Amino acid sequence: MNLTRRITLTALSAVALSAVAVSPAVAAEPALVTPQATLDAAYHCHGVAITATSLTPIMLVTGTGATGEAAYGIGEGAFNTYGHPVCDVDFPDNTTADVQVSVEYLVNGIKRMYAAGHRKIAVYGISQGGLLPRWALTYWP
């Protein structure tokens, strides 16, 4: 096969593949299996209350080996100066438990924050705390 024909076939293949429509997800979000009381006990908010008119609320997602409260404590002065509501979650076993369980804590926190202000929130992750939000927002959009 000559070069011109290969290039033409490659280009046509690319056009054909790009025209394929991707169907949206049809499955419902997974149910949380961790007891609600356990999830709620791990959720903490600081500073100003989350309302529809407050500054954008921030969910602080800690990395491996720390609690949400410890991560908040490190930056508390800056968070207070910044003036945004800040919430965090204490993940099981200092964020060393099964990620499928840990993400449920974050999903609960995000849903509670949204319910409090009926608005978008910012999610700030550190270390493994960068992975958990991606998982949460992919499977519980």
- The tens digit of pLDDT for each residue in 59-81 reads 999 989 999 999 999 999 999 99
34-139, CATH topology level? Rossmann fold (3.40.50)
Which of the four pLDDT bands, split at 50, 70 and 90, describes residue 127? Answer: confident
Residue 122: name the closest of 79, 84, 72 by CA: 84
| Predicted TM-score of the model (pTM) | 0.78
- Per residue in 28-71, pLDDT (tens digit) is 889 999 999 999 999 999 988 999 988 999 999 998 999 999 99
Residue 123 CA to residue 129 CA, distance in Å, equals: 9
What tokens were used for 115? 């319910």
Residue 125 CA to residue 132 CA, distance in Å, equals: 8
Angle (deg, nearest 10), helices 131-139 and 99-117: 70
Residue 136: name the closest of 98, 109, 112, 97 by CA: 109
Q: What is the mean pLDDT of residues 117-121?
A: 93
**Residue written as tokens 């007891």?**
35
Question: What ranges do the domains of the chain cover?
Answer: 34-139
Residue 56 CA to residue 85 CA, distance in Å, equals: 7
- Whether 100 shows a pLDDT value over 90: the answer reads yes
